A and B are shown apart, each in its own frame.
Chain A
Amino acid sequence: MELSRAVSMDYLREVSIEARRNVMKMITHAQAGHVGGALSCMDILVALYFEVMRVDPARPRWEDRDRFVLSKGHASVALYAVLAERGFFPKRDLMTFDQIGSRLQGHVDMTKTPGVDMSTGSLGHGLSAAAGMALGGKLASKDFRVHALLGDGELQEGQVWEAVMFAAGRRLDNLTAIIDYNKLQLYGAVAEMLPIEPLLMKWQAFGWHTMEVDGHDMAQIIGSLRRAAMEKDRPTVIVAHTVKGKGVSFMERKVEWHAKPPTHKECERALAELREA
Chain B
Amino acid sequence: MTVSPDLIRPAPEGSASDLPPAEEALVHTPGPLPGASRPKSLVRVAVPPVVLGAALLGFWYVISYVILEPSRRFLLQPPHKVVEVGFLEWDNYSRILKALWNSTQVALIGLGIAITIGFFLATMMSQAKMIERAVFPFAVTLQAIPILAIVPMIGFWFGYGTTARVIVCIIISLFPIIMNTLFGLQSAERGMHDLFTLHQANRLTRLRKLMFPAALPAVFAGLRISAGLAVIGAIVGDFFFGQGEAGIGQLLRRYASQLDGEELLTSVIMSSALGVVTFWTFGWIQKLVIGKWHETEVLG
A and B assemble together? no
Enumerate chain B interface residues (CB-CB to A < 8 A): none
Enumerate chain A interface residues (CB-CB to B < 8 A): none
